[in-house]
Amino acid sequence: MSLTQGSEDRNRVVLRVSNLKLNFHTYGGDVKVLDGIELYVRKGEILGLVGESGCGKSVTALAIAGLLPQNAEILSGEILLEGKNLLAAKKEEIRKARLSEIAMVFQDPMTYLNPVIPIGKQISEIVESDRQLFLKPVIEELLNESSTSRAGYVERKKLERILKDGNVSKREFGKLAKLYAISMLRKVRLPDPERVYSMYPFELSGGMRQRAMIAMALARKPKILLADEITTALDVTVQAQILKLLRELKDQIDASIVLITHDLAVVAEVCDRVAVMYAGNIVEVADVERIFSNPLHPYTKGLLESIIRPDVVKDELKSIRGSVPNLINPPPGCRFHPRCPFAFGRCSIEKPNLIEAEPNHYVSCFLYG
Amino acid sequence: MVFVLFGLSIIVFYLTRGLLPPNTALAPYITPRMDDAAKLSLAKGLGVATSACQSFEDFSMGKSYCITPLWNQYLSWLLTVLSGNWGYTLLPGISGSQTTWDVFAGRFPFTAELAIAASILTIAIGIPLGIISATHNNKLPDHLSRIVSLGGYSIPQFWFAVMLQLIFVIYVNVNGQGLLPANGALATSCAICIPNPGTISTFTGLPVIDSLLSGNISYFWDSLIALILPSLTLAITSIGALTRIVRSSMMEVLRQDYILLARSKGIKERVVIYRHALRNAILPAITVSGLIIAFLLGGAVIIEIIFSWPGVGQASLSAAYVLDINFLELYVLVTALIIVVANLVVDIIYAKIDPRIRY
Amino acid sequence: MNQAQSSRFQEARYAFYLFRRNPVVLAGAIISMAALILSILSPYIVNPSLWRITDLTKRLCWNNHMINWGIRNVFDCGGSTYILGTDSYGRDLLKMIIIAIPLDMQISLEVVFSAVLIGVVFGSVAAYAGGIIDEFVLRITDIFLAVPGILLAIVMMVILGRTIPILTFAVLVTWWPTYVRLMRSQVLSEKEKPYVESLKAIGAGRFRILFRHIIPNSIYPIIVQATLDIGSVILTVSALTFIGLTPSPLLPELGTLASSGAQYVFTAPWLTIFPGLAILIISLGFNLLGDGIRDVFDPRLRR
């Protein structure tokens, strides 16, 4: 609640999630996956969403993209994309939002690419699906590209004419979409994009597939990019390249990124701000430097202490005692209290709100008020 | 492939020659005027009797000195039939001067037509029904299509055929005439039939196609009407089977990560289902299509008998009764050839759809 | 141990949940059980030798006034009511169907059990041994899969004779290759799994691994297929007897009963309708059950 009255710059907020609660119905009972998520994303920033697996990071992203599985039930909350509530929107509107505003990139590039459709087609089909919407961006992109190549001169005239008419046949647009897809593949630095266009996912390496998946997101020029554990399945060297690419592309298309990860090193490397999640709650939000220099929530502290750092010699590796709670019957009050070394009476009765403990640093813990 | 046909010819040969008296092997080649001496030399010519055999009587009684070893018989039989000599037909009601090959070739297009029509029905009904079932999992359309598919898979074809005849020939009638014909490949006496369709010339042997090529629309209509009940009956089981296969593989595919990615791209649900999901879900269905073709060709025997359809299936039962072994052998081998070729085509189509197979 | 037990309990609870959620599957289970029970109890309900007694004065008779066939001149032979009418030999059709069900069930179960046995043995040996043995078994199944089963069965019955054992054998000949293929592919994928590697690593014997671990773990698709096939075999058997490949036209067997009625279908439709309906219900029951078992035990279909 306090987040909405916080000191962040209102005009620059692209996405805001407030009080999002949702359950998964399973045969074992209702899993209380999200318990009042509070989150906002500013324009142009990279927000890291960190937490252990199963804490609801991915579900939050799926909820934002309107891709929740059938057994999910949203109990309350709002997801505002530039002021428009996506949870109240019709299915078709949400689909349109995914087409042009919210893009998602997933963890495992092997299983997330369709094995029987060529890479390029999986990109070009996006723009082909809505000629009206993508005509302008596609042609502008192609004009941009052709200005740098010698052969592009003749094509320019044609492209400019199409742009002026605002009308193009499906066939013609199909050809343009192919060129556009190739240009996207070039943008994500895939070597020999013309050849990659007609290749199948199994012919590419993990890093190349991840680049292809980013190209699919990029093709839509989204306002929000939800990146779900995109580096987890990759080698460390490839990870760094992908992260660098992501940051560059973000600046090019002026998007915001929600980077979901369990890897604090990745967070430190690329994020502007961090939101820490635990068992379906956001427990702490702050700028990345603040989180690392002055963590407030006991869970965040525990998380940071459990990292192996070569520069600090420790006698033993610390870990957080206990284990992640079963969300079918979550602990009452603060969901972290059974594992918390500082827990006191109030923690097991009341649920703490997210409060601004210091400027732009939010925490949900009774230790701070 | 060749191995399959070869192995099968041995099995059928053993069944028909090894277990039956030697005379049976001779029967298709005997002409009415032959005396015993001529028959004996025929038996020697065909490699069934040994050159030492003295009299036809000894041969008929199966005296061991007269009969060549089965393996030799097989080789000479193979040479005979591979040279195209399938002998004369023994089928009842057909002039004995017609060759088995001609009878078979004359009847085969009817069976082909029936099987092709049933395949078209199977694909046209089975695949959409499976998709609907999977995309509406555990909702009303799923339950309905499940009933259709399981019902189709469980229903005795012969019973379904008789019930359809009962309904459309007896209970649903217009001016005292049944709506649809009960039998035959050309419907001339039913409520919606055209009585005198005239004649057509033969191009492919398939009446439906030949009538179109001949420009005889009445004939085309009548052969199409006649095709309805038999092809539906023949297809009902495979419709059920295909629906189930498409449903389960579609449900499996819809749970895959790449479907989530496709949805996340904001493309229309229709495109997600038909471009992204169906292409993957159809693969198991393609794998079994060889089996389905085999099933349709086998099922045609029963359907042709019930609907008096003038194809090879109907004739095969008569052939079995009169021990016209050459007809049976021809039928089994041609059917097997079709199935083997179909499986080859299936492999090619599979590789066309799934790029991973090509490498 | 405790954990294993609790997970088994969870499995059972989940299976029950799925069964309860799906009334169709429950119906399948009930029908299949009913068919099996009826097969066992049949001799105690109807004298099994009753089928030999014909009474031509009562042939093609319908005196059950609950159903009006809308056919003129239905022969009402009076006397006690024949619920499903009489057949062309004057026998009570209902009693004939009750006598027939055990016979059809017996043939079907014999075929399926033998096919499963052959499939499990040859399939697992082929997959586990590999090499020439595998290739050989595979080619043999290829041959049998390349010919429509019904065709081979017709040829065999005409040549070997029209008796029940030969009918059973003829259907079996066309049925076993599917199980060999199925078992082979199951074992092939099972033997590549990490747990087999670890069993080898701890020094478990080849045969122990095969019989105690691989076969039990690959058997479930076979069970599903077998359940589904009980119905399909009845369909094939009755189709063969329907076209006349039956030991005797008097034989109380569902296809034979339907067949002897087929020529009277326009004057005495019940003769074909009810035996066929009995086949449909039994076959549907086993198919529903098999489908249900697959849904319950297939881990891929869960969630």
Interior angle at CA C196, CA C190 and CA C197, nearest 5:
125
DSSP B236-269: HHHHHHHHHHHHHHHHHHHTSHHHHHHHHTT--H
d(CA B149, CA B327) in angstroms, rounded, equals 35
Distance between CA B120 and CA B107 in Å, rounded?
Answer: 21
For residues A12-36, give the mean pLDDT: 89
β-sheet bridge partners, residue A363: A284, A355
d(Cα A89, Cα A112) in Å, to the nearest integer?
26
- How many CB atoms are closer than 10 A to CB C183? 27
Q: With beta carbons under 8 A apart, name residues in chain C contacting A27.
A: 13-14, 17
Q: Which tokens sit at A194?
A: 């013309």
Q: Are strands A102-105 and A361-363 parallel, antiparallel or unpaired?
A: unpaired
Highest mean pLDDT range out of A243-247, C231-235, C286-290?
Answer: C231-235
The pLDDT tens digits of the residues spanning A103-119 come to 999 987 788 999 999 99
Cβ pair B158:C276 closer than 8 A: yes
| Residue A356 DSSP SS3 | strand
Burial class (CB in 10 A: 0-12, 13-18, 19+), B169: buried
**DSSP-based three-state secondary structure for B88:** strand
- Core vs surface per residue A313-344: b (16+ CB within 10 A) or e: eeeeeeebeeeebebeebbebbbbbbbbeebe
What are φ and ψ of residue B97, in 5° steps?
-85, -5
Which chains sit next to A, with 3 or more Cβ pairs under 8 A? B, C
A27 touches chain C (CB under 8 A): yes
Higher pLDDT, B317 or C22: B317
- Could you tell me which residue, A135 or C240, shows the higher pLDDT? C240
A26–chain C nearest CA distance, Å:
8
pLDDT at position B198 is 83
Residue B207, CB-side half-sphere exposure with 13 Å CA sphere: 27
Over residues C111-132, the mean pLDDT reads 92
Asked whether the predicted pLDDT for residue A7 surpasses 50, the reply is no
DSSP 3-state helix, strand, coil percentages of chain C (rounded to 5)?
Answer: 75, 0, 25
Least confident of A161-165, A182-186, C274-278: A161-165
Average pLDDT estimate for C209-233: 89
Residues 326-345 of B with CB under 8 A from C: 328, 331-332, 335-336, 339-340, 343
- The pLDDT of residue C300 is above 60: no
Question: Would you say B237 and B294 are in contact if contact means Cβ atoms under 8 Å apart?
Answer: no
User: How far, in Å, are B167, C68, C76, C85 from residue C65 at the CA level?
Assistant: 21, 7, 10, 10
Label residue A313 by pLDDT band (50, 70, 90): low
Q: What's the pLDDT at A67?
A: 92
Q: How far apart are CA A309 and CA B61, in angstroms?
A: 97
Provide the CB-side half-sphere exposure for B347 (13 A, CA). 7
**How far apart are alpha carbons B264 and A26 in whole angstroms?**
24
Q: Which residues of A touch B (CB under 8 A)?
A: 65, 67, 95-100, 103-104, 106, 108, 111-118, 125-126, 129, 200, 202, 213, 216, 220
Q: How far apart are CA B315 and CA B332, in angstroms?
A: 13
Answer whether A217's CB lies under 8 Å from A123's CB: no
Subunit partners of chain C (3 or more CB pairs within 8 A): A, B
pLDDT band at A2 (very low <50, low <70, confident <90, very high): very low
Confidence label for C119 from pLDDT (cuts 50, 70 and 90) = very high
Count of CB atoms situated within 10 Å of the CB of B139: 11
Measured CA to CA, the distance from residue C249 to residue B261 in angstroms comes to 62
Contacting C residues, span 111-170, partner chain B, CB-CB under 8 Å: 139-140, 142-143, 145-152, 154-156, 158-160
pLDDT for residue A73: 92
Q: How far apart are CA B159 and CA C285, in angstroms?
A: 17
Residue C302's pLDDT is: 46
Predicted pLDDT at C303: 40
Question: Residue A152's pLDDT is what?
Answer: 57
Mean pLDDT of all residues in A279-306: 91
Q: What is the pLDDT of residue A309?
A: 63
Percent of chain A at pLDDT exceeding 70? 92
Q: Do C145 and B295 touch (CB under 8 A)?
A: no
pLDDT at A4: 47
Chunked mean pLDDT (size 10), chain B, 359 residues: 86 85 84 85 85 85 85 89 88 86 93 94 94 87 86 92 88 81 83 84 87 89 92 94 91 92 92 92 88 88 92 91 89 91 90 79
pLDDT in tens, C58-88: 888 888 777 777 777 777 777 777 888 888 8
Judge whether residue C223 has pLDDT over 50.
Answer: yes
Cα of B295 to nearest chain A Cα, Å? 29
Place of tokens 């992203």: A61
Average pLDDT over residues C125-145: 89
**Distances in whole angstroms, Cα of residue B285 to Cα of each of A334, B138, C227, C294:** 52, 22, 21, 18
Helices (H), A79-130: 91-100, 119-128
Do A302 and A318 meet the contact criterion of CB atoms below 8 Å apart?
Answer: yes
C99, C275 contact by CB (below 8 A): no
Contact A284, A291 (CB under 8 A): yes
- B-contacting chains (≥3 CB pairs under 8 Å): A, C
With a cut of 90, say whether residue C98 has pLDDT above it.
Answer: yes
pLDDT of residue A11: 57
Q: Is the pLDDT of residue C52 over 60?
A: yes
Lowest mean pLDDT among A26-30, A166-170, C243-247, C294-298: C294-298
Over residues A334-340, mean pLDDT: 90
Residue recorded with tokens 């992640």: A324
Mean of the per-residue pLDDT values of chain C: 85
Are A112 and B261 in contact by the 8 Å Cβ rule? The answer is yes
| N-term to C-term CA, chain A | 15
The predicted structure's pLDDT at residue C179: 94
What does the alpha-carbon distance between residue C177 and residue B81 come to, in Å, rounded to a whole number?
28
Strand ranges (DSSP E) for chain A?
13-26, 29-42, 46-50, 72-81, 84-85, 102-105, 224-228, 256-261, 273-278, 281-287, 355-358, 361-363
Element of type H or E holding B304: helix B278-306
| Contact check, Cβ <8 Å, C142/B4 | yes
How long, in residues, is chain A? 369
C39 token code pair: 């097969």
Strand A224-228 to A102-105 pairing: parallel
pLDDT score for B274: 92
Which of A65, A98, A111 lies nearest to residue B257, judging by beta carbons?
A111
**Of B257, B267, B268, Cβ closest to residue A112:** B257
End-to-end CA, chain B: 22
Burial class (CB in 10 A: 0-12, 13-18, 19+), A203: middle
Q: What is the ipTM of this complex?
A: 0.88
With a CB cutoff of 8 Å and minimum separation 6, the contacts of B327 are: B28, B86, B89, B90, B91, B100, B103, B104, B315, B316, B319
Cα–Cα distance list, B128 to B148, B231, B277, B282, C237 (Å)? 12, 18, 13, 11, 31
